[in-house]
A and B are shown apart, each in its own frame.
Chain A
Amino acid sequence: MSSQTTNQTTSQTDRTDRGNRTNQGGQTTHHTLSILVGNKPGTLTRVTSLFARRGYNIEALVVGQTEDPARSRITMIVGVEGTPLEQIIKQTMKLINVVDVRELPPNSTISQELRRGAHGTYLLKN
């Protein structure tokens, strides 16, 4: 399930996943991540604090409860520069409250909404 998703969405980045933050060419690319989490207090903090301390850039973020009240979904756009996306996904998957992480296609409705929202008022811009 989860790990499968990880592999599918990031197989093309496998080769560059070498962790040397500075040799990635400095080009920022944007990815939309959909993170399914347990609906527990502090979970959003765990995710955003992970991103802050590992130096991943959150461009936009929205969070809400899912149909299943035990789960929330965090959808975010990350700006990926030094660190390969695969590494970001794996580190996020390691959080105990995170159930699944997948990358959404850039042309998906939610991605477009989020990107627009990033310039609006109701979403966080990091």
Chain B
Amino acid sequence: MTGADSFVAALRAAGVSCVFGYPGATALPLFDALYGADDIRLVLSRHEQGATFMAGGWARATGRTGVVLVTSGPGATNTVTAIADAYMDSIPLVVFTAQVPSALIGTDAFQESDITGITLPITKHSYLVKSADEIAPTVAKALYLAATGRRGPVVVDIPVDVAEGIVGVNGGSDGAGKSDGDGDSAARLFTGYDPRPQPDPALIAQAAAALTAAKHPVILAGGGVIAAEACHLLTDLARTQGIPVVTTLMGRGAFPEDDLMWLGMPGLFGHAGANEALSLCDVLLAVGTRFAERIAEDPAAVAPDATVIHIDVDAAELGKQRRADVAINADAADALTALLRELPDGCGEASPDSGASFSLRTRAALADTDVLIPAYVVGMLDALTQKRTQQGKATIRVTEVGQNQLWAARHSRVTRPRSFLTSGGLGAMGFGLPTAIGAQLACPDALVLNISGDGSFLMNVQELATAVAVRAAVKVFILNNAGLGLVRQWQDMKYAGRHVASELPVDQPDFAALATAFGAVGLTVATPADFEVALRRALESDGPVVVDCRIDPTDIVEMQG
């Protein structure tokens, strides 16, 4: 058995069913070993950044680790942005990069790049594999690390001679059999790594006492609640105790937003009620959030007068941004389970006083004009999503970055976890289309809607070819405002309206024609009436569709003062 064979065997043993990749000379042994592997789907992207975002989309939509396989040098460096994205948002991802032959490492060989060095600050961990025997155990370790504790990306660099090497010739074990990808056996390999610290009962009691005594408690829920699959626990706690909920951008969907107890998203681009609740509460229960500076200008002063209970699986997040009165190092599921046990039943009553914050402008008022505005487009997609949810059908919305992302966040009600995917920490344009494709492949029955921008769409437009090839029927809605809208908005605010490098021609390219050239369906709309027709056509099509929505270019994202 070659190292490459043991690579595939180890993926299989760990239950990996899909690999996103792009080949090249040094990666060929690994690709060749996937030949005929019917149980592991290989999805060929059109750019390595696309492949890596697709794997991220797969992971964001399911919680299962996304897997990438690329060649050395440029193949590896092309993955960097999407790795950084996964790192910022704590997404489980393993990126396998091929490397030049071991003997050539360090000689500036053709297509050599020090990818473990380059990605060192943006990975949870990384490996350079030295022998064929090490491949299978390293695959298992990487998959284990990515998916445990605070999730994150892991890079595994495999020199071509190592992949071609024969397993077991150096008296080593037959790698594939030994490392079965079983979490526990991998766990024993890491001293000092505690992926699941247990909540301290004394701190849980303190938290329960503070919540019970609180007059105006508020919950701040972040992406960690979704990562820990703790959304039902959070919802239980909020409802039984009558505590309203604020969700961060990464926490969207952790609590059903059609519930009156949802107060919105905090921050400059969030909802007023959420900010107000944070500033007025007397006890703040912050779960799975890192108090990013996006939730408040000064995160150290969030909830200034409150007793802060902070739960996070990453000990380093406790006290990093905001001092906590009760700092509980545990994942959201373990901590909330313990907290629910400690709290008396129904000690509070629902008091969603600022619940009216949710400001979805009414559909009728918006449809009544000839101008297409973003709140209408997003609102229509939201209405569609809610209708499908009532019918028990899954819908996943994926944003790009810019005004489109903020409009999507502002005017959507996310009622299920893993159904609103966005580049929260990195804010990477080009995220949307490949992420949507990855999510669609992971969830074939879901309707995947990509809310895009005319700038961002072009950053990974080549993946339309992938979508067509693998029949990922994603529906892309470009909020075409003839420019880098968020940049323009910023320039209006801070640079006297000088739109330097932020205007784009509205019809160059012709997005609908471009989509058609890729073999997708392309439509252009400029009025609400056209939009409704296009939406119907998009839903009727069983393939990828791009709808170029010519929105009012002067519309801006409302900001909270």
Can you sample 18 A-B contacts with CB below 8 Å? Answer: A1-B192, A3-B197, A6-B315, A14-B319, A15-B323, A17-B320, A18-B300, A19-B299, A20-B298, A23-B300, A49-B120, A86-B319, A87-B320, A90-B316, A90-B318, A91-B316, A96-B145, A96-B190
Which residues of chain B are within 8 angstroms of A99 by Cβ–Cβ distance?
Answer: 191-192
Q: Does B490 contact A (CB under 8 A)?
A: no
- Smallest CB gap from A40: residue in B: B127
- Smallest CB gap from B194: residue in A: A3
Q: Does B121 contact A (CB under 8 A)?
A: yes
Which residues of chain B are within 8 angstroms of A93 by Cβ–Cβ distance?
Answer: 192, 315-316
Which residues of chain A are within 8 angstroms of B314 by Cβ–Cβ distance?
Answer: 94
The docked-state distance in angstroms from the alpha carbon of A86 to that of B314 is 13
* CB of A6 to closest CB in B, whole Å: 8
Which residues of chain A are within 8 angstroms of B124 by Cβ–Cβ distance?
Answer: 96
Which residues of chain B are within 8 angstroms of A97 by Cβ–Cβ distance?
Answer: 125
Is the pair B321, A19 in contact by a Cβ cutoff of 8 Å? yes
Is the pair B316, A18 in contact by a Cβ cutoff of 8 Å? no
Is the pair A53, B121 in contact by a Cβ cutoff of 8 Å? yes
Which residues of chain A are within 8 angstroms of B412 by Cβ–Cβ distance?
Answer: none
Bits for B543-559, please: 1 = Cβ < 8 Å to A, else 0: 00000000000000000
Is the pair B300, A96 in contact by a Cβ cutoff of 8 Å? no
Instruction: Across the A-B interface, give the 5 residue pairs with the lowest CB-CB distance, nearest first.
Output: A17-B319, A90-B316, A18-B323, A99-B192, A20-B300
Which residues of chain B are within 8 angstroms of A42 by Cβ–Cβ distance?
Answer: 116, 128
A-B contact count (CB 8 A): 65
Contact of A46 with B120 at beta-carbon distance under 8 Å, contacts A17-B323, A19-B321 already known: yes
Taking A93-B315, A96-B125 as known contacts, 15 extra A-B pairs with beta carbons closer than 8 A to each other, sorted by chain A number, are A2-B192, A3-B197, A3-B329, A18-B323, A19-B320, A49-B120, A50-B121, A53-B121, A90-B315, A90-B318, A93-B192, A93-B316, A94-B315, A99-B192, A100-B192
Which residues of chain A are within 8 angstroms of B151 by Cβ–Cβ distance?
Answer: none
- Smallest CB gap from A16: residue in B: B323
Is the pair B316, A87 in contact by a Cβ cutoff of 8 Å? yes
The docked-state distance in angstroms from the alpha carbon of A42 to that of B191 is 17
The docked-state distance in angstroms from the alpha carbon of A97 to that of B120 is 13
The docked-state distance in angstroms from the alpha carbon of A46 to that of B197 is 24
Q: Does B193 contact A (CB under 8 A)?
A: yes
* CB of B323 to closest CB in A, whole Å: 4
Which residues of chain A are within 8 angstroms of B410 by Cβ–Cβ distance?
Answer: none
Q: Does B322 contact A (CB under 8 A)?
A: yes
Bits for B322-333, please: 1 = Cβ < 8 Å to A, else 0: 110000010000
The docked-state distance in angstroms from the alpha carbon of A53 to that of B125 is 16
Bits for A42-80, please: 1 = Cβ < 8 Å to B, else 0: 100110011001000000000000000000000000000
* CB of A102 to closest CB in B, whole Å: 12
Most chain B CB within a 10 A radius of its CB, from A19, A45, A98 = A19
The docked-state distance in angstroms from the alpha carbon of A90 to that of B313 is 12
Which residues of chain B are within 8 angstroms of A3 by Cβ–Cβ distance?
Answer: 194, 197, 315, 329
* CB of A1 to closest CB in B, whole Å: 8
Which residues of chain B are within 8 angstroms of A49 by Cβ–Cβ distance?
Answer: 120-121
* CB of A52 to closest CB in B, whole Å: 9
The docked-state distance in angstroms from the alpha carbon of A2 to that of B145 is 19
Bits for B458-479, please: 1 = Cβ < 8 Å to A, else 0: 0000000000000000000000
The docked-state distance in angstroms from the alpha carbon of A49 to that of B193 is 20
Give the contacts of B287-327 with A (CB-CB under 8 A): 298-300, 314-316, 318-323
Which residues of chain A are within 8 angstroms of B321 by Cβ–Cβ distance?
Answer: 18-20
The tally of residues in A whose CB lies under 8 Å from a CB in B reads 32
Give the contacts of A1-33 with B (CB-CB under 8 A): 1-3, 6, 14-15, 17-20, 23
Report A's interface with B, CB cutoff 8 A.
1-3, 6, 14-15, 17-20, 23, 38, 41-42, 45-46, 49-50, 53, 84, 86-87, 90-91, 93-100
Which residue from B190, B322, B329 sits with its C-beta under 8 Å from A19? B322
Give the contacts of B187-207 with A (CB-CB under 8 A): 190-194, 197
Which residues of chain B are within 8 angstroms of A95 by Cβ–Cβ distance?
Answer: 125
Is the pair B120, A19 in contact by a Cβ cutoff of 8 Å? no
* CB of A121 to closest CB in B, whole Å: 28
Which residues of chain A are within 8 angstroms of B190 by Cβ–Cβ distance?
Answer: 96
* CB of B151 to closest CB in A, whole Å: 13
Which residue from B145, B197, B319 sits with its C-beta under 8 Å from A87? B319
Which residues of chain B are within 8 angstroms of A100 by Cβ–Cβ distance?
Answer: 192
Is the pair A45, B300 in contact by a Cβ cutoff of 8 Å? no
Is the pair B116, A18 in contact by a Cβ cutoff of 8 Å? no
* CB of B535 to closest CB in A, whole Å: 45
* CB of B125 to closest CB in A, whole Å: 4
Is the pair B120, A45 in contact by a Cβ cutoff of 8 Å? yes
* CB of A42 to closest CB in B, whole Å: 7
The docked-state distance in angstroms from the alpha carbon of A15 to that of B324 is 9
The docked-state distance in angstroms from the alpha carbon of A94 to that of B124 is 9
* CB of A47 to closest CB in B, whole Å: 11
Is the pair A96, B319 in contact by a Cβ cutoff of 8 Å? no
- Smallest CB gap from A20: residue in B: B300
Is the pair A18, B120 in contact by a Cβ cutoff of 8 Å? no
The docked-state distance in angstroms from the alpha carbon of A123 to that of B191 is 28
- Smallest CB gap from A97: residue in B: B125
The docked-state distance in angstroms from the alpha carbon of A50 to that of B128 is 19
Is the pair B116, A96 in contact by a Cβ cutoff of 8 Å? no
The docked-state distance in angstroms from the alpha carbon of A5 to that of B119 is 30
The docked-state distance in angstroms from the alpha carbon of A58 to that of B270 is 40
- Smallest CB gap from A89: residue in B: B316
Which residues of chain A are within 8 angstroms of B116 by Cβ–Cβ distance?
Answer: 42
Which residues of chain A are within 8 angstroms of B322 by Cβ–Cβ distance?
Answer: 18-19
Which residues of chain A are within 8 angstroms of B120 by Cβ–Cβ distance?
Answer: 45-46, 49
Is the pair A19, B319 in contact by a Cβ cutoff of 8 Å? yes
* CB of A48 to closest CB in B, whole Å: 11
The docked-state distance in angstroms from the alpha carbon of A45 to that of B329 is 28
The docked-state distance in angstroms from the alpha carbon of A55 to that of B197 is 28
Contact of A19 with B300 at beta-carbon distance under 8 Å, contacts A42-B116, A49-B121, A94-B316 already known: yes
* CB of A38 to closest CB in B, whole Å: 8
Which residues of chain B are within 8 angstroms of A53 by Cβ–Cβ distance?
Answer: 121
- Smallest CB gap from A86: residue in B: B319
Give the contacts of B392-412 with A (CB-CB under 8 A): none
